[in-house]
Structure 1
């Protein structure tokens, strides 16, 4: 087995996220994803076909941001984690979301770790 960590770091999206009246409109959220990926053997070639193509994660998150409203960051994190785990090579995923504009001096976020059973 060959284990790699694939990262999607600080993707910034405008998303409808929150429970308060001032959060009705889309707000800026930064999302980071860390996936532990198992391959059957060390890579023999320098070819995208041999590894996880992280485009599906980025595109999936962008689609969620465009199509869905989330009340809680926890639910957003769970949804993104499930997206990542839909690729059976992903054995563990860490998802972090951060609302960057709620407070003038700090971000407010959530982080979860999920593993394949």
Structure 2
């Protein structure tokens, strides 16, 4: 077995996220980063069908942004982790980080989760 980490880093999504009135009033910018630990039987051939394709992940995250309002970053991270693990059995582990970009003028506010295949929450 060989492992590779596939990164989708800094995907900026505008979505309804948060519990405060001002967060409910308008969507806000959120940066989402995902690290996928993928296991293959051998180093993959130089073809897209030989590896985990990250297009599905990007599209899924963008679809979450078009969906309903999400209260917590923890909920957003869990949804992205579930999406990543469900799409391809070669994804062994996923780490997801979300960062609200505009909450404070001097800091970003975020959440990070790590989930593995078959893990119970």
Question: What is the CA deviation profile of residues 35-66 of structure 1, one whole-angstrom value per residue up to 9, with x for unaligned ones?
Answer: 100112222x2110100000000000000101
Is 2:17 the partner of 1:17?
yes
User: Unaligned stretches of 5+ in structure 2?
Assistant: none
Aligned-pair CA distance for 1:68: 2.2
TM-score, normalising length from structure 1? 0.96
* Deviant stretches of 4+, over 2 Å: none
Distance in 2, matches of 1:77 and 1:106, equals 19
Root-mean-square deviation (Å)? 0.7
Aligned partner of 2:27 in structure 1 is 26
Aligned partner of 1:91 in structure 2 is 92
Aligned partner of 1:69 in structure 2 is 69
Aligned partner of 1:109 in structure 2 is 110
User: Unaligned stretches of 5+ in structure 1?
Assistant: none
TM-score, normalising length from structure 2? 0.93
- Classify the secondary structure of the residue corresponding to 1:69: coil
Aligned-pair CA distance for 1:105: 0.2
Aligned-pair CA distance for 1:67: 1.4
Name the one with the larger strand percent: 1
